[in-house]
């Protein structure tokens, strides 16, 4: 669906048409391996934007705290620009040229504040490997204008000394967990606490966004599904009453039958030769 | 005819008799053939998203923390054809073995709580139960292998609503070869998958060789 959107907007300009010619070809072969899934996360407080990809408006009035995508993008370099809603791309408030999108990856591009409070764009590669049955993946990304933090679950630090713009992750038991974010090494709560429902077989990515100084610290969450594994097996009986197939006595009976046939045959044969 | 010859003939006759009995027993203890394997496989193929070529814009969601989804747990299962009326427990994974945590009481059966619930419009709802146990005797799914295409079953949800299903397939797999990913899939057509043990029993290891898998679709 995103692709046809691209094709539609691509008709607007020759440059865009060139840029997305590859995407057009992609629609004919949906299983093309070199495309990546790309999501966009907005973590800059109070600043709705229009998002331009390779010069074409892709997201209109994209609001802080929202997550867009995933888009299927072919491997390559992309120019990304953010403008105030309705303003021309020439007056972009933030732009990244030639952002490399590798093939076959799952990527989140976060527009956020750096530790000093300046807007920036950081791409993250999402770990979409399978989780074990019964598990969920929790990924926390520090994308806020704030010092180093610890992330706690049920009051116990699980990720420590996380700094902007880095991530920490782990596979945990699926289910509910009460989480909060504290200034590293302290009990001073910066965000939360909040109840997190970590669904089995998914990755939950939580972005700390906003600014500590501006008192706009908050979280944005993105969920990736389909990472589940099957149980190792289904053991469901140890009685043996329903057993099919043959038992030991069957082999004994068959063995005896064969021996009797052989023995009888040999006797018969030797008896005949004996009479000659 | 000499005595020696008569003895030989008797031995031959006894041998033939023994082999005949053995053959009859072997034929009689063959499990029923699989039915509906193709239908079951077909159900598992992911429905191609109709949205592949349509849609005007990039999907945007508010990045709220994920809340607990409302799942309708199956709580009771009735299968009239094999006299099953069983309570269903919500179960997960045995941490030690990484296997399906089938309820220890053989009268009760377990729903895989990580997979879809009865409300799901895609994927495989998995319910497993014991065929039997050394201590407790026959289990709720002792006669599961007798189910055939067209048999009906009723799963009642935690919402009190009874939902009818119709059996489309019964398959038997060696446990080392069963395509579990297909039966624990969260995509494909909505379906109910019942699993128990079966096939030859290894008395030393106290284990059945196979799994019996029954697939049913909303009736």
pLDDT in tens, chain A (276 residues): 343 433 333 333 333 333 333 333 334 344 455 899 999 999 999 999 999 999 999 999 999 999 998 999 999 999 999 999 999 999 999 999 998 899 999 999 999 999 999 999 999 999 999 999 999 999 999 999 999 999 999 889 999 999 999 999 999 999 999 999 999 999 999 999 999 999 999 999 999 999 999 999 999 999 999 999 999 999 999 999 998 866 666 677 778 888 888 888 787 777 766 555
Q: Is residue B6 in a domain? A: no
Please tell me whether residues A73 and A167 are part of one structural domain: no
User: Are B219 and B204 spatial neighbours (Cβ–Cβ below 8 Å)?
Assistant: no
Please tell me whether residues A185 and A93 are part of one structural domain: no
Give the dihedral of Cα atoms B81, B82, B83, B87; nearest 10 deg.
Answer: -110
Q: Is residue B146 in a domain? A: yes
Spell out the residues 6+ positions from residue A95 whose beta carbon is closer than 8 angstroms to its own.
Answer: A79, A80, A81, A82
Q: Is residue A264 in a domain? A: no
Tell me the shortest Cα–Cα distance from A59 to chain B, in angstroms: 7
Q: Is residue B203 in a domain? A: yes
Please tell me whether residues A26 and A41 are part of one structural domain: yes
Closest residue, chain A, to B17 (C-alpha): A257
Question: Which residues in chain A are contacts of B64 at CB distance < 8 A?
Answer: 221
Query: Looking at the 3D structure of chain B, how many domains does it have?
Result: 1
User: Are A178 and A195 spatial neighbours (Cβ–Cβ below 8 Å)?
Assistant: yes
The complex's ipTM? Answer: 0.84
pLDDT reported for residue A11:
33
**Domain with A140 in it: what CATH number?**
2.60.40
Band (B15; pLDDT cuts 50, 70, 90): confident
Residue B176 in contact with partner chain A when CB distance is under 8 A: no
Contact A238 B112 (CB under 8 A): no
Q: For the CA atoms of chain A, what is the radius of gyration?
A: 31
Please tell me whether residues A66 and A138 are part of one structural domain: no
**Domain with B88 in it: what CATH number?**
2.40.260.10
Residue B54 in contact with partner chain A when CB distance is under 8 A: yes
Selecting from A133, A134, A239 the residue whose C-beta is nearest the C-beta of B137 gives A239
Selecting from B4, B31, B61 the residue whose C-beta is nearest the C-beta of A66 gives B61
pLDDT tens-digit series, residues B149-207: 999 999 999 999 999 999 999 999 999 999 999 999 999 999 999 999 999 999 999 99
Question: Which residues in chain B are contacts of A196 at CB distance < 8 A?
Answer: 65-66
Q: How far apart, in Å, are the Cα atoms of B162 and each of B76, B78, B113, B155, B173?
A: 9, 10, 18, 6, 30
Q: Which domain covers residue B110, as residue numbers?
A: 34-43+71-218
pLDDT reported for residue B31:
59
Give the separation between CA B73 and CA B77, rounded to whole angstroms.
Answer: 11
Q: Is A188 left (phi over 0), alpha (psi -120 to 50) or beta?
A: beta
Q: Which domain covers residue A69, as residue numbers?
A: 1-125
**Which phi and psi angles does A142 have, rounded to 5°?**
-90, 105
Please tell me whether residues A112 and A27 are part of one structural domain: yes
pLDDT reported for residue A266:
80
Spell out the residues 6+ positions from residue B44 whose beta carbon is closer than 8 angstroms to its own.
Answer: B124, B182, B183, B185, B188, B189
Give the separation between CA A49 and CA A55, rounded to whole angstroms.
Answer: 14
Please tell me whether residues A215 and A179 are part of one structural domain: yes
Closest residue, chain A, to B103 (C-alpha): A236
Query: Looking at the 3D structure of chain A, how many domains does it have?
Result: 2
**Collapsed DSSP state (helix, strand, coil) of residue B15:** helix
Spell out the residues 6+ positions from residue B187 whose beta carbon is closer than 8 angstroms to its own.
Answer: A226, B46, B47, B122, B123
């Amino acid at each position: 669906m995103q692709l046809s959107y691209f094709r539609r907007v691509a008709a607007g300009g020759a440059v865009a048409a060139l840029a997305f010619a590859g995407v057009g070809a992609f629609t004919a072969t949906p299983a093309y391996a070199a495309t990546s899934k790309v999501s966009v996360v907005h973590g800059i407080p109070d600043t709705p934007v229009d998002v331009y990809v390779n010069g074409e408006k892709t997201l209109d009035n994209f609001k802080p705290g929202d997550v867009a995508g995933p888009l299927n993008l072919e491997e390559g370099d992309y120019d990304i620009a953010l403008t105030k809603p309705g303003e021309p791309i020439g007056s972009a408030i933030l732009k990244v040229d030639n952002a490399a999108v590798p093939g076959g990856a799952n990527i989140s591009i976060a527009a956020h504040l750096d530790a000093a409070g300046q807007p920036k764009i950081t791409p993250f590669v999402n770990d979409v490997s399978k989780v074990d049955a019964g598990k969920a993946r929790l990924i926390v990304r520090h994308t806020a204008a704030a010092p180093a933090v610890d992330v706690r679950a049920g009051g116990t630090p699980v990720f420590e000394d996380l700094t902007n713009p880095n991530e920490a992750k782990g596979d945990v038991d699926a289910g509910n967990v009460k989480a909060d974010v504290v200034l590293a090494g302290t009990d001073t709560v910066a965000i939360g606490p909040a109840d997190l429902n970590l669904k089995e077989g998914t990755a939950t990515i939580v972005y700390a966004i906003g600014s500590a100084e501006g008192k706009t610290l908050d979280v944005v969450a993105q969920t990736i599904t389909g990472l589940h594994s099957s149980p190792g097996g289904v053991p469901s009986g140890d009685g043996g009453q329903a057993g099919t197939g043959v038992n030991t006595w069957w082999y004994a009976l068959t063995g005896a039958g064969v021996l009797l046939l052989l023995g009888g045959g040999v006797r018969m044969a030797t008896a005949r030769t004996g009479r000659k | 005819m000499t005595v020696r010859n008569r003895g030989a003939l008797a031995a031959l006759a006894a041998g033939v008799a023994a082999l005949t009995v053995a053959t009859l027993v072997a034929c009689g203890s063959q499990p029923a053939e699989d039915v509906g394997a193709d239908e079951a496989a077909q159900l598992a193929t992911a429905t191609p998203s109709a949205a592949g070529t349509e849609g005007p814009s990039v999907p945007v969601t508010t990045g709220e923390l994920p809340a607990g989804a409302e799942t309708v747990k199956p709580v009771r299962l009735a299968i009239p054809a094999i006299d099953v009326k069983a309570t269903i427990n919500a179960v997960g994974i045995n941490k030690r073995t990484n296997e399906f945590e089938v309820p220890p009481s053989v009268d009760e059966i377990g729903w895989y709580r990580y997979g879809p619930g009865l409300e799901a419009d895609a994927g495989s709802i998995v319910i497993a139960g014991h065929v039997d146990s050394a201590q407790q005797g026959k289990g709720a799914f002792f006669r599961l292998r007798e189910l055939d295409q067209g048999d009906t079953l009723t799963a009642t949800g935690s919402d009190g609503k009874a939902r009818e299903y119709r059996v489309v397939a019964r398959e038997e797999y060696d446990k080392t070869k069963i395509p579990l990913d297909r039966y624990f899939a969260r995509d494909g057509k909505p379906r109910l998958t019942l699993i128990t043990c079966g096939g030859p029993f290894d008395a030393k290891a106290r284990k059945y060789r196979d799994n019996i898998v029954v697939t049913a679709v909303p009736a």
